[in-house]
Amino acid sequence: MATMLEGRCQTQPRSSPSGREASLWSSGFGMKLEAVTPFLGKYRPFVGRCCQTCTPKSWESLFHRSITDLGFCNVILVKEENTRFRGWLVRRLCYFLWSLEQHIPPCQDVPQKIMESTGVQNLLSGRVPGGTGEGQVPDLVKKEVQRILGHIQAPPRPFLVRLFSWALLRFLNCLFLNVQLHKGQMKMVQKAAQAGLPLVLLSTHKTLLDGILLPFMLLSQGLGVLRVAWDSRACSPALRALLRKLGGLFLPPEASLSLDSSEGLLARAVVQAVIEQLLVSGQPLLIFLEEPPGALGPRLSALGQAWVGFVVQAVQVGIVPDALLVPVAVTYDLVPDAPCDIDHASAPLGLWTGALAVLRSLWSRWGCSHRICSRVHLAQPFSLQEYIVSARSCWGGRQTLEQLLQPIVLGQCTAVPDTEKEQEWTPITGPLLALKEEDQLLVRRLSCHVLSASVGSSAVMSTAIMATLLLFKHQKGVFLSQLLGEFSWLTEEILLRGFDVGFSGQLRSLLQHSLSLLRAHVALLRIRQGDLLVVPQPGPGLTHLAQLSAELLPVFLSEAVGACAVRGLLAGRVPPQGPWELQGILLLSQNELYRQILLLMHLLPQDLLLLKTPGSRPACDTGRQRLSRKLLWKPSGDFTDSDSDDFGEADGRYFRLSQQSHCPDFFLFLCRLLSPLLKAFAQAAAFLRQGQLPDTELGYTEQLFQFLQATAQEEGIFECADPKLAISAVWTFRDLGVLQQTPSPAGPRLHLSPTFASLDNQEKLEQFIRQFICS
C-alpha cells in the first residue's frame, strides 16, 4: 500500500527552516516510539460504495472485491516509465513528453448542433410560449444564440490543454508532497466510462484548485478532457476566456431571468442544448455541489443544483438513456485560506491575481520541506435513472421547523413529531424554477444524496485528527508522548467506523508533518525530561482548529447526537459537574432518549445532517446506518423485556451509562464535537436581548458575529467565533419562528416575532439549546 507521506517524508533531513525548530523536533521525537501500537495499513476500509437502498443494481455492478487490494498511486508522480521513451534526456523532459502523449479528443461542430437542437428550434419557430420566432429576424436570433453559446463554452484547444497540463504538473509537484488516488476507485470509473453512458462527476468544493486538479487527474488516467462547470462570479472575464479554452463551462446570466422573459427562455434552451450535446458525445462533466470556498451562505450550491437540473432533464426526456453519477471529494492536509469577510464578497479571481497567487505559493514553499498532501476520492458510479425511480417511491410528508420545535420550546406540548424537517436554505434559481415542482424536489434530494456520499467517502487527514485532539481534549496543552498514543487511538476509532484516513507511514513522521502544518496555531515548548509540550495558541487559532476538526464530525455524528441527547436527559437530574458514578446510576428510558434525539436532530441544520433525518421510513444507507440504530450504549438486562432493536417493540428498554474507565472521556469527547455549533446557537439566543432589530439579514448576522467575537474574548470560546456559525444561527432562528422577515423598499428585513419578544420565551429558547451542551 502506498503511503500518503511516501518515501519522501522518511528520507527528508530532520532539519527544518529554523535551527530552533529542528532542536525541538530532535528532542521531542527521541522517545520510545516502539511502545505505540502500529495501526496504519491494518483493516483499512474500502470506502465509496454507492447506496444499496436507492440503487441496488448499481451497487452490484462496476465493483469486484479484488479492486480493494489495488492500493494507491500518486497522480502527480511522473517518471520516465510514464512515457514511451527512455534515456537520460527523457528523465529531464518527462513532464513535457508526458503532456504531449495525453489523448485529447478532436473538437466537433458544436455550434451547428446546438442550433439544430429541439429546444432551440422550438423557440426560434415560436412553437413554445414566449418563443422568439414571432416578429423577429432569424439572423439576429441566431447571432444571439451564438453570443450565449460563446459565453457558455469554447472548443478545447489541444495545444493549450497540453501546455497547461505541463505547467500544472510542475506547480503541483512544488505545492504538494503527493496527490493520492485509490487505483480501485479509478478502476470503477474507467469501467463505467467503457459502458457507453455519459459520466457526470458531482464534487465537494474545498478550494478553487479542485476545478484544476480534478481535470488534470482524469486526463492523466486516460478519460479525456473533463468539462468543468465553473462559477462565473469567482472568475474575471480574462480568466473565464482561458478556462473556456481548457474545457470550462459558464452559466450565462440571462439563464437566471424570470420564467416569462424571452431572453431567459432562450438562454436556458441553449444551456440545455449544450448539456445534451455533451452527454451525447460522452464527454465527462464535473459539477460542484458546494458553494465556492469562502462564500458565506448555504452549503449546497444553487448553481450546482441548476447544472444538475439540466442533466436530469436531459435523461428524463430521453436525449440519453441514462447517466452515471460519480460522487467526488478532494481532501487536503491544509486548504489554502479562503476570504471569509461578512462586509464584502470575495473579488473575482483574475489572471494576474492567479499568477501572483501561484508565485506566492511557490515562494512560500521554496526551501520548505512541509508541503501538503491531498487525496482524491471517486465513489462508485450509480445510475441516475435507477435513482429517479427509487427516489420518487419513498417521498413522505415534511413539516417546517416552526411546526416541529416551537411548541416544545415554549412548553406548549411534549410530543415530538417523528417526521422529516423542511429546511431549504439554498435559493432556487431560474433554471431550477423552470422545472416542475416534483423535479425541483428531485434535484434537491439528489444533490443532498450525492453530497452525503462524497462526504462519507472522504478520508480524514492527519491535521484534522490533530486539531480535534488539541481543541476538544487538550486546549491547555498536552505532552507529545501522550499525543502519540491518542493520535493512534483516534485513528483506530475512525477506521473501525468504516471511514478511511488520508495518510500512512511512521507515526513520528505523521505527527511532525501535522504539527508543522499547524505551526501557526500551536506552540511547542521543550521541558527538561526531553519531551515536548504542545499548546494550542489562544485566540483565532482555536477558530481555525475548530474548522479543521469539523472534518471528523461525519465520522462520529450519530454518536455525537446520541451523547448530546443523553446530556439533555441528565440535565436537571444531576449537577453538570457531578461525578460520573452519580450519572451512571440513573436509568435512561429508551423512549425518552429517542425523543431527545429527535429534538436535537430537528434543531441541527440540514446542511450538517445531510441524509441523517428522523422519520418512520428506513433512512438511506448512504448516510451509514439509521441514527437510532447506531447508538453504542448497551441495554440494561434487568430492565429489558424485548431483544428487538426496534423502538416500537421495546417500550420497556432502559439504558445506563457504562462505568468503564474510558467512558467518561469518550462521552465528553463526543459531546464536544457539536459544542461549537450548539454554543453559537445558545449565544445567539442570549443575543436576542440586545440585538438591534429590525435589520437586514446581513446586518443582523454581522451584529451577531461581532457579539460572538466579543464573547470569545471574554470567555475564551473562540471556536464559536465563526461567521458561518453566525449565519447558521440566524437562518435556524428564522425557520424556528424566532425571527420573522418582512418586505421593505430596501429589501427584506428581520424583526423579532411577537412570540419571542418576551424575555421569558427567550430564556426558554436558550435553556432548550443549553441542555445539549456539555461543559
Reading the block at residue 761, the C-alpha cell is 420565551
pLDDT tens per residue across span 117-151: 888 887 777 655 555 545 455 677 788 888 999 99
Give the pLDDT band of residue 40 (cuts 50, 70, 90).
very low
For the whole prediction, is pTM greater than 0.75? yes
Q: What percent of the chain has pLDDT above 90? A: 42
pLDDT score for 615: 40
Amino acid identity, position 454: S
The answer, yes or no, to whether residue 74 has pLDDT greater than 50, is: yes
pLDDT score for 130: 54
pLDDT tens per residue across span 662-708: 778 888 899 999 999 999 999 999 999 999 999 999 999 999 999 99
Helix axes 480-496, 507-517, angle to 10 degrees: 100
The three-state DSSP-derived secondary structure of 478-514 is EEHHHHHHHHHHHHHHHHHCCCCECCCCCHHHHHHHH
- State the DSSP string of 198-261: -EEEEE--S-TTHHHHHHHHHHHTT--PPEEEE-GGGB-HHHHHHHHHTTEEE--GGGGS-TT-
Helix axes 351-365, 237-245, angle to 10 degrees: 80
Distance CA 68, CA 50 (A): 15
Give the pLDDT band of residue 578 (cuts 50, 70, 90).
low
Distance CA 502, CA 4 (A): 7
Distance CA 358, CA 353 (A): 9
Candidates 286, 326, 281; CA nearest to 105 is 281
Q: Which residue has the cell 445534451?
A: 276
- State the DSSP string of 194-213: TTTS-EEEEE--S-TTHHHH
Q: Is the peptide bond before 694 cis (omega within 30 degrees of 0)?
A: yes
The three-state DSSP-derived secondary structure of 31-91 is CCHHHCCCCCCCCCCCCCCCCCCCCHHHHHCCCCHHHHHCCEEECCCCCHHHCCCCCHHHH
Task: Residue count of the chain, please give it.
Answer: 775
The sign of the dihedral angle between the CA atoms of 536, 537, 539, 540 is negative
Residue 532: in which H helix or E strand, if any?
strand 532-536
Count of helix runs (H) and strand runs (E) in the chain:
32, 19
Mean pLDDT on 621-631: 40
Pairing between strand 199-203 and 324-332? parallel
The answer, yes or no, to whether residue 304 has pLDDT greater than 60, is: yes
Q: Which residue has the cell 460520573?
A: 580
Strand order in the sheet with 522-526: 478-479, 532-536, 522-526
Distance CA 320, CA 11 (A): 51
